[in-house]
Structure 1
Amino acid sequence: MIIVETQPRRCLLLSCGFINMLALSFFVLCSQLQSIVDSFKYGCIISVVIHGISYSVALGPISWFITAEVVPLQFRALSQALALSCNQTIALVLCFVTLPLYDRLGSVVLLPLFIIPGLAALTYLFWKLPETRSRNIDEIIIELKGGIRATA
């Protein structure tokens, strides 16, 4: 939490998101190559560790900070409830879909389920997400309505 409180949230979210997608991509690559060269299995382990660290440092906590910081106070509880509901629903669906597809298709299934949507979301956030740390909600809303490109 110290990192989230002291670093610019936009930069932290985007950089850790990119690292997270790289880790997942590296996992897919290593798991595909592991059948050829057995030592690539260690690349899978490293990928999972990097994925967990990048999620824990920024993606997990910052998502909830930003949700509360880009919405006016009177709609904050509703937006948090909607965000949590969407998050839990998508997680539930992915829990039922991922393992059977992984068993059938292998690690390549991570590309359409996680990596491609993740990169699309990061691209959208790169262009639309303003910095929220140490800023007034009114400034953030004006920036969001005005379409001013956020700076890192």
Structure 2
Amino acid sequence: MIPPKRVSLSAESLFGFDADTVKPEGRMALDKFARDLAGATFDSIRVEGHTDRLGSNAYNQKQPEQRAAAVKNHLVTSARLDGAKISAVGKGDTQPVTRLQDRKTVRASSASPRSWTACLQPDRRVDVEVIGTR
């Protein structure tokens, strides 16, 4: 058994703004990830979609779910991974990676939406965890 491999992919590298269709450079990143799994037997792959705290609760839950499903779909259709072993869930904005002091720095320097969007970018991501053997 190998330790779980966890990869965090920026939502901006996978998707366009406010979109849930994997863009070409995102497909390339997912294809590379799948090639890295070559030779491994995996028990499970968990795809988690995350977002920042901007937006309504409903939107912040729906978009990460759709993005996680899009990543799973790509891994199944393009990389030919076993879909029965892949779960896709949306975590919404419940697990941010930005810290409160990051947000305070932005608030003190500027209140523009662009600065908030940039500050919270790390929270918008897709995490993929693989459990298996090599």
TM-score by length of 2: 0.30
Larger radius of gyration: 1
Structure holding more strand per residue: 2
Higher relative contact order (CA 8 A, sep 6+): 2
